[in-house]
Amino acid sequence: MRFDVITLFPDFFASPLSSGLLRKALEKQIAQVNLVNPRDFATDKHRRVDDEPYGGGVGMLMKPEPIFAAIESLPVLPKRDVILMTPQGQTLNQGLLKEFATDYDQLVVICGHYEGVDERVLDLVTREVSLGDFVLTCGEIPALALINGVVRLRPGTVGKEESLKAESFEATLLDYPQYTRPPEFRGLRVPDVLLSGNHGEIARWRFQQQIERTKARRPDLYEKWLRETGGE
C-alpha cells in the first residue's frame, strides 16, 4: 500500500516512521510512505506556498498551485483516495481505517497549515477527514494517526493478527480490562477468574466487562451495540 503525504514538514515524520511497528512494516514493504513537499513545486523565487486570503481575514492560506503540482506529479494507482486532513471532515474511526486498509492501494494525504488551504484544492480531494472536533497547529499529526491506524491493520504488521479482532471498536464495544504479572501489586489484585485457567469463564467475564465499560464510558456506543445486537 502506498501513502503519498503532501507536507511542508517532511522531517516531522522521520522519527515515527523509523520506530516500532511502523518501521518494521515499511521494511517489509507492507506499506510505502512517500513524503512530498509542495514547496518544491513553488514557481516564484521565494518558493512561497502561502498567501493572504481574498476578502481579508486573520492568517495565511496555502496556495493551490504548489499542492496541485505536487499531487499531479504522483502516479495514480487503480484504487486511490485523495484525503485532506481538516477539522471540517468526516471523523476518523476504526471503521474508516478498515475501509482504507482493505479497499485502497494508494492514499494521498494533504496536510494543511496556517488557516487552511485554498478552497480550489478541494477539486482534487475525494475525502475530507478529521481527528475530531478540535484544531491543531498542523495536518501532520492527524496524517500520522491515519497512517499508523491503517498500516497496523494491513496483513503482516501485527505479529498476532487475532489480537486485532479483540480490541476496542472492532465489535462496537470497548476492550476489556487487561492484567499481567504480578498477581497482586500494592493491594490491587488481578481478578480471580483470570487466574483460574477456565477459558470459558474468562471469556464470559471479559465480555461482561466490555459491556459494562462501554455503558459507563461510551453510552453512545453502548446504545449502538444494543441496536445492532439486541444485547446479545
Q: What are the pLDDT digits (tens) for 28-38?
A: 999 999 999 99
In the block, residue with C-alpha cell 472536533: 133
Average pLDDT, integer, range 89-118: 96
pLDDT score of 17 more than 80:
yes
Residue 209 has pLDDT above 80, yes or no: yes
Q: What is the pLDDT of residue 89?
A: 95
Indicate the average pLDDT of the chain. 94
User: Does the pLDDT value for residue 172 go beyond 90?
Assistant: no
pTM for the predicted model, two decimal places = 0.88
Q: Taking residues 119-137, report their average pLDDT.
A: 96
Q: Kindly indicate the confidence band of residue 232, based on its pLDDT and cuts at 50, 70 and 90.
A: confident
167-229 fold: Trp Operon Repressor; Chain A (1.10.1270)
| Measured CA distances, 212 to 92, 165, 179, 188, 198 (Å) | 25, 19, 17, 20, 21
Q: Is 80 left (phi over 0), alpha (psi -120 to 50) or beta?
A: beta
Domain boundaries, the chain: 2-151, 167-229
In this predicted structure, what is the pLDDT of residue 151? Answer: 98
The answer on pLDDT for 94 being more than 90 is: yes
**Cβ atoms < 10 Å from Cβ of 50:** 18
pLDDT, tens only, 105-122: 999 999 999 899 999 999
Q: Does position 179 have pLDDT exceeding 80, yes or no?
A: yes
State the pLDDT confidence band at 168, using cuts at 50, 70 and 90.
low
Residue 165's pLDDT band, with cuts at 50, 70 and 90, is low
Q: Alpha-carbon distance 133 to 89, whole Å?
A: 10
Nearest to 121 by CA among 84, 87, 91, 75: 84
The CATH class of the 2-151 domain is alpha beta
Q: What is the pLDDT of residue 114?
A: 86
Q: What is the pLDDT of residue 231?
A: 85
Whole-number pLDDT of residue 181: 93
